[in-house]
Structure formats: structure tokens, C-alpha cells
Amino acid sequence: MEITSPQVTSVLRKLALAAGDAILQVYERPDFDVQLKGDSSPVTEADIAADRLITAGLRAAFPDMAIVTEEQAESHDLRAERFFIVDPLDGTKEFVQRRGEFTVNIALVENNVPVRGVVYAPAKGRMFYTTDTGQAVEETGSFDPDRPGATRLLKLRAPDLSALIVVASKSHRDQATDDYIARYPVADMRSAGSSLKFCLLAAGEADFYPRLGRTMEWDTAAGHAVLAGAGGDVVDFQTHQPLTYGKPGYANPFFIARHPSIPLV
């Protein structure tokens, strides 16, 4: 089945909104069950509900496409040149601690590059996605699933190389990251959960995001697509080559997301 860009944008947006609604139904309850997966990371019924909803929607719209999702281990052995990759609830720790900075992430990868993506933070009321032409936008308004609201085009800010704004993880900050950041002239440090860090760069709210820790492709693909659509790039920390997708096991190396004018040191 041929995939048209407008169809991808529309489907990903609608599924992200529906998944966000399902997640908030759990989040707004006074209590919910939290379990640990094999890697000791938390999973909740909201993760599972959102995963099932997104997977079913993608299969209905694109029955011939491969789908890789965090919550379906059997999908982690798939190999395809074109596939959807999904983190139905990125930032489960933020969700469990009720910090609000969790997101729904859905991306389309073609030839090892995330070309379309949506990042929706339902508790924050922020939605970022790539348009039919691959440009990054933030939608504002009521988030009607059938009628997209007003959008603003996202573009990286021109960084002041003598006074950078750096964004780092809330739940995974470590000394190695702090030591690397210290190599740069930093005017301000901001923390954010989940894939929102990519979106803060894309929205011109920060310049630089180093990640010296474990991530998986489903954690980064949608945010990477949004950042690229705003003019940013994501590179391997060691090789400084573009971060690619479809790797064995879908594990990422350490990486740096940035405005391309920021030197790598």
C-alpha cells in the first residue's frame, strides 16, 4: 500500500490524541497499578492501553507496514526499510510520579531516517508534529481529532555560542552528562522529561541536548523527526555521524541533539 504524506500526518495525529485521552483516564485516577518489566523499568495499564490503541489504528490504516513498539517484545526482532516505531507512553517515571512530562510518540522511519513524527504531551497540553512536507509545527487549540487547530511553524533559535541553553533529562541526569555539559559555555540549564527535550530545541526554547545514557529508538524517533523538521540534527556521541534507525535490537548509542552550528567537543 502506498503511503501518502497527508495520510500519515492525519493518522499519527489522531492516534496520538486518542492515546493521550486513554492515558489521562488512568493518570487522573487517585491510584493505578505499576509493574516492573524485565529490565526493571515501570509499566502501567496506561502504557498497555495506549499501545493497543495505536497499534490497532496503524494496522487498520497501513496493513502492510511493519510496526515496532516498546510494549511488544516480539516486534523488536523486525527488520524493514520502512516501519512505524511507537513509544505509547514515553516517560513512565514522570507519569508515575505525576510530573506531567510524559508523551505519546509515533514515528515513521524510511531508509534508517525518521521522516515523520508526532509528540503529544497530554498533561501539558502540547502537541508537536511534522507536516506533509516534513516541516515541524506545534498545534494549539482544543486538539479536535477531526479538525486540526492552528499551528505555528517551529524553527531553531540562532544560538549564542557564548551562552548556550542546555536541556537535560529529569530522571536520568548523571555525572558524565554534567561533565560533558561543563565543556560548553552555558547560560541556562533546563530539565525536561521524555521526548519533550527534542521539542524544546525545535521550538527555540533550548539549544543543545546531550544524552549520555541508554535510550531505545522508540524513545527518540518521533522527537528526532520533529527536531529535524525544525532544522536541527541528532548525532552519535562518539562518531558525530547522524543517528540512524533500524539498528539490531533498536538500541541507541549516546547522542547529541543540537542546532547544527554548535560545535562538538
Return the number of other C-beta atoms located less than 10 Å from residue 238's C-beta. Answer: 9
> Where do the domains of the chain lie, and which CATH numbers do they carry?
5-153 (3.30.540.10), 164-258 (3.40.190.80)
Return averaged pLDDT per consecutive 10 residues of the chain, 265 residues in all: 77 98 92 75 87 97 94 75 95 86 96 97 96 95 92 96 90 82 95 91 96 94 98 97 95 97 95
Are the beta carbons of 102 and 123 closer than 8 angstroms?
yes
Q: pLDDT value at position 34?
A: 81
Q: pLDDT value at position 169?
A: 78
Residues 6+ apart with CB under 8 A from 164: 184, 185, 186, 187, 207, 208, 262
Query: What predicted TM-score, i.e. pTM, was given to this entire model?
Result: 0.94
Q: pLDDT value at position 247?
A: 94
Return the number of other C-beta atoms located less than 10 Å from residue 232's C-beta. Answer: 24
User: C-alpha distances in angstroms, 193 versus 3, 27, 72, 202, 256?
Assistant: 32, 16, 23, 15, 16
Q: pLDDT value at position 204?
A: 96
For 69-127, write each residue's pLDDT tens digit: 988 766 677 778 899 999 999 988 888 888 898 999 999 999 999 999 999 999 999 99
Joined grid coordinates for residue 135: 516541516
Residues 6+ apart with CB under 8 A from 65: 1, 3, 58, 82, 83, 84
